[in-house]
Structure 1
Amino acid sequence: MKKLSTGLLALITLVSVHSSVKAQTADEVIDKYVAALGGKEKLASLKSVKMVGNLSVQGTDVGITITAVNGIGARTDISVPGMGEGFQIMNAKKGWSFMPFQGQTEPTEVSADMVKSSQSQLDIQGVLFNYKEKGSTVELAGKEAVNGADAYKLKLTSKDGKVSTIFIDSKTFYKVKSISKTATQQGEMDMETTYTDFKKTDDGFMFPYSQTNNRGTIMFTSVETNKPVDEKIFTAE
């Protein structure tokens, strides 16, 4: 009996040790996420991005170009066949919207709440990268299936109290899904986005070339990084 008890104790200890080895902390998951994107130095060198693609809306292909400079501004240009072109601009202090196909005749300044909730667009290196330096906190909230695969569920709270949930694939360690609240001209809404079709740019940055959210799926055809950007495009004044 004593030998049996000793054997069981050893087995339990072995299982416990094995479990602790397999366990992940939020920081360990984030470290692997950063490594999957090329490492800290690589991510820190990402200063600008330009993404060109199409969004299919009710059978119509809408052209989309997203241009952003880290910490400075983000601009989305939209082209609707037969209806014209519009844009949305966000910088650190203000934002503007011009959507002629929605009845606007000139650029309109958006609300302060919308500017505040859109600041993550200016963080092209990712909200998880150096999150502590940005005043955010992150906790690991278990695992969930995303696109049929296990993903770590991270709850991020920014310094201004905004909460978002980010899912990191347990094998690739890419960000495969995010859920956050965003302010729109119609009010606050939940925005859920999934990310697929990961590819490297010519200079080695990893990006998802397909993003699906509440509005539809954007398929990007090109992604350029660290090209010169005229920062005047981030204002409509």
Structure 2
Amino acid sequence: MKALKLTITLIAVALAIPLQAQTADEIIANYFENTGGLDNWKSLEGIKMTAKVNQGGMEIPLEIYNLKDGRQMTKITFQGKEIKQGVFDGETLWSHNFMTMKAEKSDAEQTSNFKLNTNDFPDSFVDYKEKGYTVELLGTETIDGTETFKIKLVKEPITVDGNQQDDVSYYFFDKDNFVPIAMQSEIKSGPAKGQVSEVTMSDYQEVSGLYFPFSMTQGVKDGQAQPITIDAIELNPAIADTEFAFPDEVGETEKQ
């Protein structure tokens, strides 16, 4: 009888491993099903978000572009000036310097890491297996009073100070609606190195059959966070290629 019980226990343990992996897959499948369908997400060519970020009580307008071909850009309107941040044309990553207002290219390492993230349009979990990503269900956790499934996502390694490091994020999916309400990851460089960045998402609304969070915060876990409110989302927006091009500063100097 003891041998029989031991055999049953071993079988249960053996079955539990694939069941856990399958559960993670099911959570992600439910996520796409509940937000408009995986095929509809994969058919997207681009997303434009019109938003505002609250900085010290001041609301600053934003336009955020993400395109299927990898091009990205955030436009900030501040004191009547248009400032571009995180502009990527497919090869070059650049931003305006807030002090000098000059366009500056990012270094090779930052550009290489950023280029990896362009694989994630419109969502990191779209075709994650085909991209070589792995997911793991770590159990449940309460986030701001909401019971969630905690899923670990491991993507392609990034390069930090010349060394490859794992690119790991933790997503927290609402157990009732199967949508992510938070994402956490370790900050790998800069003044906040070693701390945990956190993005929260809420107020999901429908846009042409797909559901997006219209309220977000970005910041450090258990620290300061910037609220972002989405005013409108446009799917497959038209935008000129020149918007992403690095400015010809030499040409501008010659004209002066």
TM class by shorter-chain length?
0.7 to 0.9
SS at 1:28's partner residue?
Answer: helix
2:196 & 2:180 partners in 1: Cα distance? 18
Q: Which runs of 4+ in 1 moved over 3 A?
A: 116-119, 181-190
Structure 2: any 5+ residue segments left out of the alignment? Answer: 6-11, 158-165, 220-224, 248-256
Amino acid aligned to 1:33: Y
Residue 3 of structure 1 is matched in structure 2 by none
Q: Which amino acid aligns with 1:63?
A: P
1:136 aligned to 101, 110, 133, which one? 133
**Alignment partner of 1:226 is 2:231:** no
Once the two structures are TM-superposed, the CA of residue 190 in structure 1 deviates from its matched residue by 3.7
Of all paired residues, the percent bearing the same amino acid is 27
**Partner residue of 2:179 out of 139, 156, 174:** 174
SS state of the match for residue 162, structure 1?
Answer: strand
Q: Could you tell me which of 47, 66, 69 is aligned with 1:68?
A: 66
Alignment equivalent of 1:104, drawn from 100, 103, 117? 100
Match of 2:75 in 1: 77
Could you tell me which amino acid in structure 1 is paired with residue 206 of structure 2?
A: K
Work out whether residues 74 and 122 of structure 1, in 8 Å CA contact, stay in contact via their aligned partners in 2. Answer: no
CA distance in 1, matches of 2:88, 2:188: 13
Compute the TM-score of the two structures, normalised by the length of structure 1: 0.81
**Distance of aligned partners of 1:97 and 1:183 in 2 relative to their CA distance in 1, 3 Å threshold:** farther
Question: Structure 1 CA distance, aligned partners of 2:75 and 2:188?
Answer: 19
Aligned residues: 216
1:77-226, aligned counterparts within 5 Å? 77-81=75-79, 84-88=81-85, 89-99=87-97, 102-118=98-114, 119-120=116-117, 123-160=120-157, 161-181=166-186, 188=193, 190-201=196-207, 203-214=208-219, 215-226=225-236
Report deviation, 1:185: 6.9
Residue aligned with 1:120, SS: helix
Matched AA of 2:33 = A
Structure 1: segments with no counterpart, 5+ residues: 1-8, 10-15
Given the two structures, how large is their TM-score scaled by the length of structure 2?
0.75
What secondary structure does 1:25 align onto?
Answer: helix
Cα displacement string for residues 68-108 of structure 1 (whole angstroms, at most 9, x for unaligned residues): 102421100011236x3211112443310103xx3133100
Residues 1:144 and 1:92: Cα distance change in structure 2 (over 3 Å): farther
Aligned equivalents of 1:114, 1:185: Cα separation in 2:
12
